[in-house]
Amino acid sequence: MLLITCPWCGPRDEAEYHYGGQAHVPYPGNTADLTDEEWAAYVFYRDNPKGPFAERWMHGTGCRRWFNVLRDTTTYEVLAAYRLDEPRPALPQAGGNR
Binding site for other proteins (CB under 8 A): 8-10, 12-13, 15-16, 60-65
Nearer to other proteins, 41 or 63 (CB): 63
Q: In the complex with other proteins, which residue's Cβ is closer, 8 or 76?
A: 8
In 1-98, at which residue ranges do the beta strands (DSSP E only) sit? 3-6, 10-13, 17-22, 52-59, 66-72, 78-82
The minimum distance between CB 10 and other proteins, in angstroms, equals: 6
- Which CB, 15 or 43, lies closer to other proteins? 15
In the complex, minimum distance from the CB of residue 12 to other proteins, in angstroms, rounded to a whole number:
7
Q: Pseudo-torsion of CA 62, 63, 65, 70, nearest 10°?
A: -50
* Shortest distance (Å) from residue 89 CB to other proteins: 19
Q: Please, which residue, 17 or 53, has the CB nearer to other proteins? A: 17
Q: How far is the CB of 9 from other proteins (least distance, A)?
A: 4
Q: Do residues 61 and 85 make contact, with C-beta atoms less than 8 angstroms apart?
A: no
Q: What is the dihedral of CA 36, 38, 39, 43, to 10 degrees?
A: 140
Task: Say how far apart CA 15 and CA 89 lie, in whole Å.
Answer: 25
